[in-house]
């Protein structure tokens, strides 16, 4: 059998992996998403692209490196030609990493002298100019990302942010070089390599910039960035006649069963979606971390509430809160502890609901989705129709058979929780 695997990707969180898998699928590649480091028995089937979803964004850098290298080894053993290290389009990371350490370790493992770092995703409002990341019209450091519960981003200069995380020298590919085309990009990369640079933040403000970068990166063994950087990569394989043009389905058949919405993201977009669902009259239950910590609010109580209030329409369980409230509870419980408490409650709730006939889940939040899907025992996902930029419906491969929409906190229009269901068939 000839090897079909062309792109092997490692993503530092689950919704980011889904976003990337959708990008590759939309550009014509047969794509499978695998949850967690593949084990020996994991089959990639006839996939042309595999995206491994880790939960390595906020863990200790050493652990993130170890998981990423183990994933790279599995992808290399399966014959992957080009590797992508995918992180968030808002460059979510702590002061200690993990983008720098993981990128450096993958470069060493794959014997790559220089790689680009480009989280730009113009369709979702993330653009990079002079190395500075903008979220819509605001600098990253002035955007709501400055108040993220786990990875507050207070500096928009990505060259500086990345340089603080790695001993590899970090440089910039400015927009005029990107606009000048693949030859200019590669000439600059060559010069930068000679000058001792190893990681290059690449400016990109429009999809066209990402496509030019993609074209320049034909044959690059490692590419690092957001899902946007993958936009132009499949075309390189198409030009070589190695992939066809698999269309992404417009609707998806979902297993029979009840629906539910679980929101553990405090991002602005999710808070708006929570409000829109409440305004539309959907039953909604709020998780209060301090009450969970004190035992006043238990998973059994929450599950009973969901079972009682669910009709054919989904109800909403959410912990989403304003930055001030998040800060207050973090001061009381600790940042990680508060996060884990909520993640575990929603994950345990998902398991109880699965055991009570729930098969359709919309989950908001990257870390939250990671916790929920791990608890549900989902191992791999098939990519279905696109609900919003970067967010597809997915269906689990094997058991349990579930329909899952895993939404990065900041993605989706205000009516996402209400309209996502319209794309599912019985
Ligand atoms: P996003 O995709 O918006 O980054 P994540 O799920 O990745 O969302 O991260 C949100 C984090 O905040 C999770 O660890 C979650 O458990 C935590 N969290 C959720 N609600 C609250 C809250 N009310 N107070 C403190 N932390 C919270």
Q: In the prediction, which pLDDT does 356 show?
A: 98
Mean pLDDT of the residues in the chain: 95
Residues 221 and 259 in one domain: no
Range of the domain at 270: 252-425
pLDDT at 406 over 50: yes
Q: Pocket residues for ligand 1 (CB within 6 Å)?
A: 149-150, 264-267, 289, 319, 321, 326, 329-330, 338-339, 342-343, 365-368, 408-410
Q: In the prediction, which pLDDT does 1 show?
A: 42
CA of residue 308 to ligand 1 center, whole Å: 26
Residues 233 and 277 in one domain: no
Q: Of 185, 215, 239, which marks where a domain is finished?
A: 239
pLDDT at 303 over 90: yes
Residue 368 CA, closest ligand 1 atom number: 6
Q: Is residue 403 part of a domain?
A: yes
C-alpha span between 362 and 349 (Å, rounded): 13
pLDDT at 328 over 60: yes
Q: In the prediction, which pLDDT does 2 show?
A: 53
Q: Is residue 274 part of a domain?
A: yes
Q: Of 208, 239, 270, which marks where a domain is finished?
A: 239
Q: Per residue in 49-83, pLDDT tens?
A: 999 999 999 999 999 999 999 999 999 999 999 99
C-alpha span between 31 and 390 (Å, rounded): 15
For ligand 1, pick from 263, 266, 268, 375 the residue to mutate: most ligand atoms within 8 Å of CB: 266
Residues 33 and 177 in one domain: yes
Residues 346 and 421 in one domain: yes
Whole-structure pTM value: 0.90
Residues 131 and 219 in one domain: yes
Q: Is residue 100 part of a domain?
A: yes
C-alpha span between 229 and 127 (Å, rounded): 12
Residues 217 and 261 in one domain: no
Task: Say which residue, 157 or 43, is predicted with more confidence.
Answer: 157
Residue range 410-418: mean pLDDT, rounded? 96
Q: Is residue 235 part of a domain?
A: yes
Q: Per residue in 150-170, pLDDT tens?
A: 999 999 999 999 999 999 999
CATH number at residue 92: 3.40.50.10840
Percent above pLDDT 70 for the chain: 100
CA of residue 281 to ligand 1 center, whole Å: 24
CA of residue 410 to ligand 1 center, whole Å: 12
Q: In the prediction, which pLDDT does 43 show?
A: 79
pLDDT at 229 over 50: yes
Residues 181 and 302 in one domain: no
Residue 266 CA, closest ligand 1 atom number: 3
Q: In the prediction, which pLDDT does 18 show?
A: 95
With 0-12 CB in 10 A as exposed, 13-18 as middle and 19+ as buried, what is 335? Answer: middle
Q: Of 239, 272, 291, which marks where a domain is finished?
A: 239
Q: How many domains does the chain have?
A: 2
pLDDT at 108 over 90: yes
C-alpha span between 321 and 27 (Å, rounded): 36
The length of the chain in residues reads 426
Residues 225 and 305 in one domain: no
For ligand 1, pick from 92, 339, 373, 409 the residue to mutate: most ligand atoms within 8 Å of CB: 339
Residue range 211-231: mean pLDDT, rounded? 97
CATH number at residue 288: 3.40.980.20
């Amino acid at each position: 059998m000839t090897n079909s695997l062309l792109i092997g990707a490692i993503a530092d969180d689950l919704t980011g992996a889904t976003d990337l898998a959708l990008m590759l699928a939309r550009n014509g590649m047969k794509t499978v998403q695998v949850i967690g480091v593949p084990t020996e028995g994991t089959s990639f089937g006839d996939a042309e692209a595999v995206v491994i979803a880790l939960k390595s964004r906020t863990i200790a850098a050493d652990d993130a490196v170890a998981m990423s290298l183990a994933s790279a080894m599995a992808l290399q053993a399966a014959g992957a030609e080009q590797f992508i290290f995918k992180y968030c389009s808002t460059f979510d990371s702590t002061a200690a990493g993990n983008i720098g350490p993981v990128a450096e370790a993958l470069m060493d493992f794959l014997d790559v002298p220089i790689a680009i770092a480009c989280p730009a995703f113009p369709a979702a409002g993330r653009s990079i100019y002079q190395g500075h990341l903008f979220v819509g019209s605001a600098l990253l450091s002035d955007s709501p990302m400055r108040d993220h519960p786990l990875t507050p981003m207070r500096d928009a200069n990505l060259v500086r942010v990345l340089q603080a995380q790695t001993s590899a020298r970090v440089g910039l590919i400015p927009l005029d070089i990107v606009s000048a085309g693949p030859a200019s990009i590669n000439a600059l990369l060559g010069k930068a390599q000679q000058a001792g640079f190893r990681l290059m933040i690449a400016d990109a403000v429009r999809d066209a910039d990402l496509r030019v970068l993609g074209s320049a990166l034909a044959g690059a063994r490692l590419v690092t960035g957001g899902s946007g950087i993958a936009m132009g990569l499949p075309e390189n394989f198409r030009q070589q006649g190695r992939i066809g043009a698999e269309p992404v389905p417009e609707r998806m058949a979902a297993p029979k069963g009840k629906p539910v919405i679980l929101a553990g993201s405090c991002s602005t977009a999710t808070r708006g979606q929570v409000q829109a669902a409440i305004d539309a009259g959907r039953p909604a239950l709020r998780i209060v971390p301090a009450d969970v910590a004190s035992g006043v609010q238990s998973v059994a109580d929450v599950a009973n509430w969901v079972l009682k209030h669910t009709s054919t329409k989904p109800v909403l369980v959410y912990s989403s809160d304003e930055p001030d409230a998040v800060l207050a509870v973090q001061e009381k419980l600790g940042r990680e502890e508060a996060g884990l408490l909520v993640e575990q409650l929603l994950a345990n709730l998902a398991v109880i609901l699965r055991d009570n006939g729930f098969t359709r889940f919309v989950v908001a939040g990257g870390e939250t989705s990671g916790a929920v899907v791990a608890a549900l025992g989902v191992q791999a996902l098939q990519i279905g129709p696109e609900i919003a930029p970067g967010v597809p419906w997915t269906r689990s491969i094997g058991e349990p058979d579930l329909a899952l929409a895993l939404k990065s906190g900041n993605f989706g229009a205000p009516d996402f929780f209400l309209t996502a269901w319209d794309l599912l068939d019985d």
